[in-house]
Amino acid sequence: METFTIEGGRPLSGSLRIHGAKNAALPILAASVLADGQFHIYDVPHLKDIDVMLQILTNLGATVSHVDGCVSLETTSVSVSQVPEDLMGQMRSSIFLMGPLLARLGEVTITLPGGCAIGERRIDLHLAGLTALGAKIEEAEGYITFRAKKLRGTNIFLSFPSVGATENIMMAAVLAKGTTRICNAAHEPEIVDLQNFLNAMGAKIRGAGTDTIEIDGVERLRSVSYRVIPDRIVAGTHLLAVGTTQGHIQLSNTIPEHLTAVIQIAKSCGVEIKNRHDIMEIKSTMRPRAIDRIITSPFPGFPTDLQAQLMVFLSLARGTSVVKETVFDGRFKHVNELARMGATIHVDMGSAIIRGIGKLTGACVEATDLRAGAALVIAGLAAEGKTQVEQIHHIDRGYERLESQLTQLGAEMARLSI
Q: Are residues 12 and 149 in the same domain?
A: no
Task: Return the CATH number at 192.
Answer: 3.65.10.10
Q: Are residues 55 and 177 in the same domain?
A: yes
Q: Are residues 189 and 265 in the same domain?
A: no
Q: Are residues 234 and 297 in the same domain?
A: yes
Residues of the chain with pLDDT under 50: 114-121
Q: Are residues 279 and 360 in the same domain?
A: yes
The whole-number pLDDT of residue 143 equals 83
Structural domains in the chain (count) = 2
Q: Are residues 277 and 185 in the same domain?
A: no
The whole-number pLDDT of residue 122 equals 67
Domain boundary, last residue among 227, 256, 280? 227
Sheet holding 155-157, edge to edge: 155-157, 179-183, 212-216, 204-206
What range does the domain containing 293 cover? 2-19+230-417
Q: Are residues 387 and 248 in the same domain?
A: yes
Instruction: Choose the catalytic residue: 116, 183, 269, 364.
Output: 116
Q: Are residues 222 and 359 in the same domain?
A: no
Q: Are residues 137 and 236 in the same domain?
A: no
Could you tell me the pTM of the whole model? Answer: 0.94
Q: Are residues 189 and 52 in the same domain?
A: yes
The whole-number pLDDT of residue 5 equals 98
Q: What is the pLDDT of residues 140-186, one digit of tens each?
A: 877 889 999 899 999 999 999 999 999 999 999 999 999 999 999 99
Domain boundary, last residue among 199, 227, 255? 227
Burial letters 328-364, b for 16+ CB under 10 A, else e: beebbbbbebbebbbbebeeeebbbebebbeebbbbe
Domain boundary, last residue among 168, 194, 227? 227
User: CB count, 10 Å around CB of 89?
Assistant: 15
Q: Are residues 213 and 244 in the same domain?
A: no
Q: Are residues 281 and 402 in the same domain?
A: yes
The reply to whether 116 belongs to the active site is yes
